[in-house]
Chain A
Amino acid sequence: MRFEFGARQIAIIALSTALYAVLNWFSAAFQVVPGASLIFPATAIAIVMTMWFGFWGALGAYFGTIIGNFAWGTALQVGITGGVHDMIEGMIVAAPFFIWALRRDLPNVSTLAIYVVLAAIGTGANALLGNLNYVLWGVYPLDAVVAGIWPWWLADFVAALVLGIPLLRFLTPFVQRTGLYHQHFFARAGYEQLEAA
């Protein structure tokens, strides 16, 4: 497996973390009732950064959850376990694009459809695991999970569509022109290209 960890990856993780933490706070503007937001913009960052930068972008979502949630008064312990499902969310959407070498700027209907389906699955998995994480730390009981999943899933899925699609369509060519775009899940380029560089 191609693996690369250096200055670029550190910068990617740090920026993803900061972006995730900042956009985490945006969701407050879309709260319909206490605790339920219509959109969770940080989800789009987790997905898009993982699509562009593979595992390192997802790692940013992990740290972003810890830092962003902590600054909102959530216990560090809840963030440490909660970051894992936010990371998984982006990876569920991005992994098939890396495995099947699909174009990540969603140029046609088929890639767009794949993205929408994967986003639905990824955000659904995140909503389920996120609610279970809350049960683990005693925020609410197990019976409340069924009710808690839907607003969570809706907020994440709306963000993945409303922000994720335009970000991928408009900015992927721009990111590809930089030396940061990751061809592989853990590295920018293959061994041959890395050695040549």
Chain B
Amino acid sequence: MTIASFYVPRDSRYRRLSAPTKLMIPLAVMTAAFLIGQPMLNLALVGLVAVLLWLAAIPRSVVRTFASVLRTLIPVITIGWTIFFRSGEVLLSIGPVDITSGGLYRAIATDLRFTAIVLAVPLILAAMPQQDLVAALRWLHLPYVICFIIALSLRTIPTLERDVTLIRDAQRSRGVELDRGGIRVRLRGLASVVLPLMTVSIGRLEVMSRVIESRGVTARRPCRTFYRRPRPSRLDWMLMLGSIAALLGIFAFSLTAAGRQLLS
């Protein structure tokens, strides 16, 4: 599954929200996760994300794809915090390694924090098509050129993936071993895919630049019109402003003594 295939059209109340709202809610959750270092609150955030995923009718297969990232991330975080962070009483000693209560606490909090963050990503990528994502970025006044670059990149990724599949099949048909063998064989196999991929891509680059020029993207005085602009409803405004207010509230609270004690 790739970035191009995350979006699955479904109907739900969450999906009917405007694109900027569907962008801002997960971003607010991700930012809030960074402000909160308390395991129970991070767990609550994971619960909130789970509810949002259910409301957004995100397919389980998509959620599972993102959750698989945690198989790599959680061991790294857990090892990093439990082994390298020493604070509080020693719970376990294995040779030179001391596992402390502070390190374990931090590991659990960070694991839950990144669980919330990772699971919030499909709320953006799977709840709206790429066009809506770019339209939302434009609505948030991101410069047009940057929006265009992001849109063009997102459109190019599936093309490159098709190229990779074609090249791999072509190389396999020539007897090049790509999936088996030792590390040297696999590295050679990687080079035999990347070199043709780059050759094809560079060839395409000239055509792309001519198309961009002919469409007047870089025109000095552009007179742009948009096929579809996001039109947030009253509910959208309430949710967006509510997200921002909640985030500012958490941030302000985290600066106070009580907040530091409760949130970290």
Contacts and interface: CB of A to CB of B under 8 A. Distances in A.
A121 interface: no
Nearest to A35: B76
Interface residues of B, number: 66
A193 B3 CA distance: 40
B176 interface: no
Contact of B150 (A38, A63, A137, A144): A63
B96 to A, nearest CB: 13
Interface string B85-109: 1000000000000000000001000
A14 B156 contact: yes
Interface of B: 2-3, 6, 27, 30-31, 33-34, 37, 66, 69-73, 75-77, 80-81, 83-85, 106, 110, 113-114, 117-118, 121, 125, 145, 148-150, 152-154, 156-157, 159-161, 164, 183, 186-187, 190-191, 194-195, 197-199, 201-202, 204-206, 208-210, 212-213, 217-218
B208 to A, nearest CB: 4
B149 A71 contact: no
Contacts of A41: 190, 194
Binding site secondary structure of chain B:
helix
12 contacts: A5-B218, A11-B208, A11-B209, A15-B205, A18-B153, A70-B125, A71-B125, A73-B69, A73-B118, A75-B30, A75-B34, A139-B77
B157 A18 contact: yes
Contact of A35 (B31, B75, B149): B75
Given A8-B209, A14-B149, A22 B118 contact: no
A76 interface: yes
Contact of A144 (B69, B84, B160, B205): B84
A30 interface: yes
A98 B259 CA distance: 51
A171 B217 CA distance: 29
Contacts of A11: 152, 205, 208-209, 212
